[in-house]
């Protein structure tokens, strides 16, 4: 397991022990990870200054999803919340479902209109309003904006290649201590990404510990080839799919 307390669907990142919690929060201290020997099945990833260029990885992920239909799920603990994003690129339909504890918010963007419900209370009807293509509840459809907020700027190394879902995935990993500045730094970070040959970040398993002891898990999964957005009960009369 990545760590004993995490609920996981992703591969674990070892090396939790021995982190220097006494280091300054101003300058990250990165624990070296072994660099895998390249082989014929390895997925190429951009590099800069001796490590993976994570900004280009995220930019490539965003570009690769620009013309694809997909489902993206983010699960974050501390506090627990979940966001599901479905994109039907062919019909230009987007749905975002956000769960925060027992509260569920849902939104659909279609034909220039945004449809929303504030919770899954069966007595509450949806509201509709003109849309400027901004998607509710998420800063970006692909998750690129959130990844830039969460992931470290540098220090990632490719530590191997795995085979999942019929495709090869490059495994990028980093351990760090003393990350961040200001009122919300992290004193320990462990992060792992799985990137396919098209540049899509298929999975993310990112963990941080804050100075007050709070632990945050950020996990993301992306599935492409989605044929249609699942229509919730409250939107059945909208006629999204005729």
Tell me which of 77-81, 84-88, 138-142 is least confident.
77-81
Q: Which of 31, 23, 57 is nearest to 175 (CA)?
A: 31
Q: Would you state the pLDDT for residue 176?
A: 85
Q: Would you state the pLDDT for residue 123?
A: 66
Torsion (CA) 217, 222, 9, 18 in degrees, nearest 10: -40
Cα–Cα distance for residue pair 220/17, rounded to 1 Å: 24
Contacts of 175 (CB under 8 A, 6+ apart): 13, 15, 19, 30, 31, 33, 189, 190, 191
Torsion (CA) 29, 207, 198, 55 in degrees, nearest 10: -40
Q: Would you state the pLDDT for residue 210?
A: 82
Cα–Cα distance for residue pair 199/46, rounded to 1 Å: 10
Cα–Cα distance for residue pair 203/9, rounded to 1 Å: 9
What is the pLDDT of the chain when averaged over all its residues?
A: 81
Tokens of 79: 């506090």
Could you report the per-residue pLDDT of 109-132, keeping only the tens digit for each? Answer: 999 999 999 776 666 788 899 988
Could you report the per-residue pLDDT of 27-50, keeping only the tens digit for each? Answer: 344 444 444 444 445 689 999 988
CATH topology of domain 29-224: outer membrane lipoprotein receptor (LolB), chain A (2.50.20)
Q: Would you state the pLDDT for residue 181?
A: 59
Looking at the DSSP assignment, which residues form a beta bridge with residue 30?
176
Could you report the per-residue pLDDT of 169-227, keeping only the tens digit for each? Answer: 999 999 988 765 555 566 788 999 999 999 999 999 999 988 888 888 999 999 999 99
Q: Which of 44, 46, 74 is nearest to 196 (CA)?
A: 44
Q: Report the DSSP pairing between strands 201-209 and 157-164.
A: unpaired
């Amino acid at each position: 397991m990545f760590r004993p307390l995490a609920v996981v669907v992703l591969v674990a990142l070892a090396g939790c022990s021995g982190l220097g919690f006494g280091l300054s929060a101003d300058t990250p201290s990165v624990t070296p990870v072994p660099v895998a020997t390249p082989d014929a099945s390895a997925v190429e990833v951009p590099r800069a200054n001796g490590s993976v260029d994570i900004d280009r990885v995220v930019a490539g992920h965003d570009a690769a999803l620009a013309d694809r239909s997909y489902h993206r799920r983010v699960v974050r603990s501390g506090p627990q919340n979940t966001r599901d994003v479905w994109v039907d690129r062919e019909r230009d339909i987007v749905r975002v479902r956000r769960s925060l504890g027992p509260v569920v918010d849902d939104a659909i963007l279609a034909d220039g209109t945004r449809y929303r419900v504030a919770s899954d209370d069966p007595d509450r009807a949806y509201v509709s309003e003109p849309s400027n293509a901004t998607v509710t509840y998420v800063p970006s459809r692909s998750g690129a904006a959130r990844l830039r907020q969460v992931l470290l700027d540098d220090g990632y190394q490719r530590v191997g290649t795995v085979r999942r879902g019929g495709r090869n995935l490059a495994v990028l990993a980093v351990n760090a201590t003393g990350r961040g500045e200001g009122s919300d730094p992290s004193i320990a970070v462990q992060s792992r990404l799985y990137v396919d040959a098209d540049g899509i970040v298929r999975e993310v398993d990112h963990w941080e510990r804050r100075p007050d002891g709070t632990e945050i898990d950020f996990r993301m999964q992306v599935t492409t080839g989605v044929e249609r957005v699942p229509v919730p009960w409250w939107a059945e009369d909208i006629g999204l799919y005729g």
